[in-house]
Each structure stands twice: as C-alpha cells, then as structure tokens.
Structure 1
C-alpha cells in the first residue's frame, strides 16, 4: 500500500465528528469485566457481546473504526456474517491489537516493556488479509517515586517505532499508544513532565525508523493528576495542559490524535475532549479511542438481560458515540 493510501486511511480514522471504539480486551481482561456484572467468560458470550457493540444501528455516524482482539477479528454474527463485513458496510474501519502486553523490564524494578515484535511481520500480513486496515500497540508508562526510568521510556518507544515501521510495510496504519498511567498519587505537573519526555522520545524513534507520520495515528493519554492525588485539576486545566504538551512535542504532519480514557469516568473523558476542541486552532484533529468509557453502561444493561436488553444496550452505545463525536468537534453540551 502506498503512503497516499495509508494517509487516506489515517485521515478517515479522524474524520470530523468521528472516533474509534476500542473492543480489543484480551480474553482475561474481558473476563474480569464480565465477572463484575455476573457474566460467564465463554467464547459465545464474548462473541455475543461484541456483536451487540459492532451491530449498533447508525454506529458509523460517529465511529470511524474499531480496534479488535485477534479472536474478534475472526468472529461473525449469530447468523454467520463476519464482523469485518458488518463493520465495512457501516463505514467502520476494522483495526487489530497486535502487542502481547507488558512484562517487567530487566534491571529496572517497577518498569515494564511491551512484547510482541517476534513474529509480528507474518501476523500483520495475516491480519491485513483478514480485513484489518490499522493496528494498535500499547506501551505502559507508570509513574511512581522510582519510575519511569529513561531506559523504560526509550525501550518502549523503540518498540513502538519498530512496530509502526512493520505496520506500514504491511499496508496497515499504525496507531502508536504510549499510555502514561493514571495510577498513583502524582500531580498534574509530574504527569506533564513524563508525558512530554515520552512523546519526545516516541517521535524521535519514529523518525529514526523511517516511519511516515502522514500514515500514523497517535493514541495519547491526557495530562492529568494520578487518581490518588489529593488535588485533582479541573476540566479546563487538564485540557490546557494536555494541549500545551501535545503542541510542544507532536509534529504537525501527523493526521490526528485520539485519546484513551485511561480510567476516567465516561463523562469526564468526554468533557476533557470537548474542552480541548473548544480551545482554538490546532495542527491536527483531536478525537477519541475509548474502551470502558464507551462500553461500561452498555455492558451493565446487556449483562442484566442479554436478549431483552440488547436494543437498550445498543442505544447506550450510540449515545456515547454521539456524545464523544460532538466532543471531537467541541460541540458537546454536557
């Protein structure tokens, strides 16, 4: 695929008023969420739940793409229609999570590095053949008194760059996700420093590996105080700090930035995105790539009565998509 085609896909991912829904929980992670609402973690229940999400009527009006897990990319509706066909017909680009999760970084207690580069080239080729148009890799940066180390940041950004180069070779748009976790008691200023250092390292690594930014999407965490910090910044302060950090580190050539919710409440994640988009002109579109903040309310409804609440749960998914689509244009009314 040419850089022009990659660029076209990347731009479609951040089309005005649209964002990405993350449906890429591993079987273990979805199992924890199912357990919290009393649903057994079986393959059929996972398939049925993902069908509820992906077949939501009019979802494509506000959702440009969906990040899937390996199992989900291969699944179909109860009537046998592949999810990828359902998505494509709705104007939703299929994406795929390709990393294999974080493991301890040897020699640096408390730090982790994401694995999954071994064998990635043939996996990407297979995913492209199955209909994927973009891929996602998540790096995890934790803030404590002793972390992150410079080595942690550099190692994760190096892996993100290698992954991104392999994606573009395979004709897939790479979504690079260096998540600075909300866990901890750090304040917003510390989060700013770590996020700034991480993004500087990331774009340096992408440049060194020949990654074409025009065909790349950044999935970013917001600059926000740790969830255990006694002093929580208000919506405007989070939006201002996040935007200032991005403007100082992210090249204008990037087609767009989508935010992860990272443990924020549904409404806070939407409010922060909306506030940023009300703050004047920016070099790139700012949109969303939410998982829990898109799914939580719908999961509770669906779990209570998988058949009887199917349509109600889908209405909730659509409402969350619409709210975040409006926030991506700075038009959400709260």
Structure 2
C-alpha cells in the first residue's frame, strides 16, 4: 500500500490555506518497476532509438529540426490556452503576412528561441537552476506575463485553478517561496545525481516535480515541457530536439493534469510514469513516421519537377529546397534564392502552383504570399 504522503504533504500555512511541500526525489518507497512499466520503458527507448536513427540517415537533419521545434512550441503554448497556429508562426517569421494575433504568435516564437537558446547553452552548462532561469527569461521576454519577473524564481505564493479563482478556491497550491527554494535545490541535486536510474524514468520524475514546485509566477508549464526536451538531449538519448511530446499532452490534457495531481494527492508516481512513457513512445513513433514521409515527399516532388519543368527544373528545385526552412514565402524570396528577375521568378512560382506544389494564400492581386502546401500538410494534424 503506497502512502498518500509519498510525494510530499499538504501543510496548512499561517494565512489558513494548505500548500503542498514536495519530498525530495527519488521517491520512497522506490518506483515499482512492474512488468507493465518495463514494457513501456523498453518500448519508449526503442522508439527514441529509431527516431534518432531515422534522422541520422537524413541528408539534412536540420530541415526536420526546424519544423519539429516550431510544432512543439505551438502545441506546448496551446496547452496553456494560446490560440496561435503553426501557420500563424510561419507567416510571422516569413514576414509575408501580419498575424491577427501578434501577442500570441510572439509567445510561440519566444518558445522557439528558448529551445534553441537552451540547446546552445547545454554545450557549456549542465541543466541547472541557473539554466532554467535563463530559459524562462527567453520564454517570457516581452510577452504576456513579462511583468511577472522573467528569469526570477517567485517570491510570493502562486496557485493553480479556474480563471480568476482565489487562493482559497485553488485546485492546487505549490510550496511557499522558502520551501520552494529548498525543493528546487533538491531537484537540482537529483538531476546531477549519479545514482543508477533509467534516463526516461528520471526525466519523467523531474518534469512532474518541476510542475509540482511551480517556481515561476507564469510560464511553468512551458518551461517544464522544455525541460523534457533539454534533458533528453543532454543525456544523449536524442541528438536533436525531435520529440514533440506536447502533442500527446495536449491530446490527453485532462489526464496529463490528473496524473500530475494524483502524484501529489496519492503518491501515484507509477501511474504518472506509465502515462509519460506511453507519451514518449507515441510522440517518437509519430516523429519517425513524419521524417520518413518527408523523405519520400522530397523525392516525389523532385521527380515531379524534373518531369514537368524541363530545363527550368534547376531553379524550381533550388526554390523548393529553401521552402523546407521557409514554407511560407513571397516572390521576392524566390528572386533571392534563384537570382531570377521578378517576372521570371513570378512565372516559376506560378508553374509550381500549377503542378500542385505551391498555393497562393492571400487571395490578393498584389503583395501575395504562397505556401509549400503539401509539406505543411504533413505537420497540420501531427
């Protein structure tokens, strides 16, 4: 029988509310590795290995990283209620169109910056409280919540609950600031501990503990999900940030929150870890399938261009290659890539549209923007 206080306990504060004070990791009693847990762990490990192998074999792995990072950023932000879509973000980055929701798009663009910043910093700094603060600062720079001390651990009590609820009505109250700092120090020690433990189990425990501590006034969910990607890369489980587990968390959003809360209320670490491992497995499978789809799509489109466009196919292929990093673009972009005059670049774009590879997305006669529609479609539902 697992004790409810295994993950920590609710302590009544002087002001009358009860806050949760987490126990240090790893859990005591230790994680029960039953057959189901071993199977899920093995399945998730194998799927990550396949994903790493599939991308290793690619002629240009960065091409995939570009879109995966953006997809993860969009999905992780959507879990927090942001409405910006992948298309919104790509339009914003291409400067082809003004977004309807600039504030929300900037939140997602910050997430992309935070992933890239974190990966670069890992070359010189291990995952630590310092790195977590730096990543949070990137995430919150100049967007909603920017007034709430980006890059600084909170110095006041926060809580989780329905919009506008009071502390007394909260669903969950994390540790108060003094206890929070102790919990964060314990988490950092756990991350740097050399005690043998399967990496995915360690990453799953660390994510849940981070969300339980909730150390910032805003942006905790996104920072905690970023931590998953960075830990997987730091531990060499993945060479590149090619796992968007936020797809799984968003799809099973209620269960995601319920599993995290059950850890606090009932010490149900095993249920959370099984949910997490299943998510890693599904996300890795999805990413491998998408990588393979894009390899065949690239070859199929190359052959189509060669057969349909004759001697103009060199410029057409050069333009298409550039669109893997900029799938929404204007004719000006085509002129830059191909060195063609504007009228000739315009004709090239028109010809590629006629064979179904490009699509005009503004419906205007002037200042038109185009998308590499079949490529974007691969990412729309995954």
Question: Which has the greater radius of gyration?
Answer: 2
More helix per residue: 2
TM-score strictly above 0.5: no
